[in-house]
Amino acid sequence: MAGTLRKNWRGHREASQRGTEEPPLIKWLLIGAALSFCVVFLLLPLANVFAQALAKGWAFYWKSLAHPDSRAAIRLTLTVAAISVPLNVVFGLAAAWAIAKFQFRGKSLLITLIDLPFSVSPVVAGLMFLVLFGLQGYLGEWLQDHNLRVIFALPGIVLATVFITFPFVARELIPVMEATGTEQEQAALTLGASGWQTFWHVTLPSVKWGLLYGIILCNARAMGEFGAVSVVSGHITGQTDTMPLRVEKLYNEYNAAGAFAVASLLALLALFTLAIKTFLEWRQSREFARARTAGRV
């Protein structure tokens, strides 16, 4: 009886494997097509950025990055990311917790609003803030009377960046929190833990990987945002130019090597972000493997 069961199980497994296998020609064609797209649309343009950046030598490359206007653009980009990413983390945690842990009216509307920046053009988003806070906007006169400046200044750039990037953290956390359920939190509350203790010691550790992925994606998008920031910044050289805007301005001034030098720094930041994401995925897979091994034991 046992031998028959093992034979049937082995036959079922082999049939399942045969059902999911593709002919070698199809497999290699798919792999070749994927690699070709990666080489043509990713690796070659990336390599060209660094080649163009170093076309006039290392001295010109460092001179372009050390230019006061380029340093101001780098500083502004990092400042905007340092402000907008924590704001999105707070919003993402609150929104994901509310959506995943509670049932309430307007839940579908909240999810739709979170996805709104994915469907709205960044240029349109910038125009919305211009209509609200510009000198001719709804709040422009009041802001001017109180000596407050939003458009063509840091606050406007931060607002535009936050709007464009705020779905990333929430969208990474919502499915993770839904998968973990509420049993652990309920058990902690039953044992006498406070709401803050439950969040810090139970909820946050269970969603840490999703939170880290969301932060990485949000930060990468914040540093590379162009459309919305271009509308609200005013392109004031040395004051409201971020790194993407600085690249455009240098290229329009026929300083291609300088533009590619700043662009290469953006590319390096993107590669660094990708390296962190890959490392976190490797750590996550190791933790899951250890958990499965412990479960078998």
Judged against a pLDDT cut of 60, whether residue 102 lies above it is answered with yes
- 48 versus 288: the higher-pLDDT residue is 48
- pLDDT tens digit string along 229-284? 999 998 888 899 999 999 999 999 999 999 999 999 999 988 888 888 888 778 87
- 145 versus 245: the higher-pLDDT residue is 245
- Give mean pLDDT, residues 163-180: 90
CATH superfamily placement of domain 57-296: MetI-like (1.10.3720.10)
* Whole-number pLDDT of residue 76: 96
For residues 37 and 43, what is the distance between their CA atoms, to the nearest angstrom?
9
Helical ranges in 102-182 per DSSP H: 107-119, 122-133, 140-145, 154-165, 167-180
Helices 256-296/208-224 angle, 10° precision:
170
Judged against a pLDDT cut of 90, whether residue 200 lies above it is answered with no
- pLDDT tens digit string along 118-131? 889 999 999 999 99
- Give mean pLDDT, residues 99-125: 89
Residue with tokens 């939170």: 211
Judged against a pLDDT cut of 70, whether residue 60 lies above it is answered with yes
* Whole-number pLDDT of residue 14: 52
Judged against a pLDDT cut of 90, whether residue 83 lies above it is answered with yes
Residue 278: how many CA atoms within 13 Å on its side-chain side? 6
* Whole-number pLDDT of residue 22: 67
Using a pLDDT cut of 70, give the percent of the chain over it: 91
* Whole-number pLDDT of residue 187: 82
How would you label 148-162 residue by residue, b for 16+ Cβ within 10 Å and e otherwise?
eebbbbbbbbbbbbb
Most confident of the ranges 20-29, 137-146, 240-249: 240-249
* Whole-number pLDDT of residue 127: 93
Judged against a pLDDT cut of 90, whether residue 155 lies above it is answered with yes
Judged against a pLDDT cut of 70, whether residue 173 lies above it is answered with yes
For residues 96 and 111, what is the distance between their CA atoms, to the nearest angstrom?
9
For residues 224 and 242, what is the distance between their CA atoms, to the nearest angstrom?
9
What are the residue ranges spanned by the domains of the chain? 1-53, 57-296
- Distances in Å between the alpha carbon of 198 and those of 97, 185, 204, 283? 12, 6, 9, 25
Residue with tokens 């469907």: 119
- 184 versus 81: the higher-pLDDT residue is 81
- Give mean pLDDT, residues 176-193: 80
- 185 versus 168: the higher-pLDDT residue is 168
Q: 0.95 cut: is pTM over it?
A: no
Mean pLDDT of the chain: 86
For residues 73 and 160, what is the distance between their CA atoms, to the nearest angstrom?
17
Judged against a pLDDT cut of 90, whether residue 75 lies above it is answered with yes
The 10 Å Cβ neighbour count of residue 7 is: 10
How many H helices and E strands in the chain? 17, 0
- 149 versus 185: the higher-pLDDT residue is 149
* Whole-number pLDDT of residue 2: 46
* Whole-number pLDDT of residue 183: 80
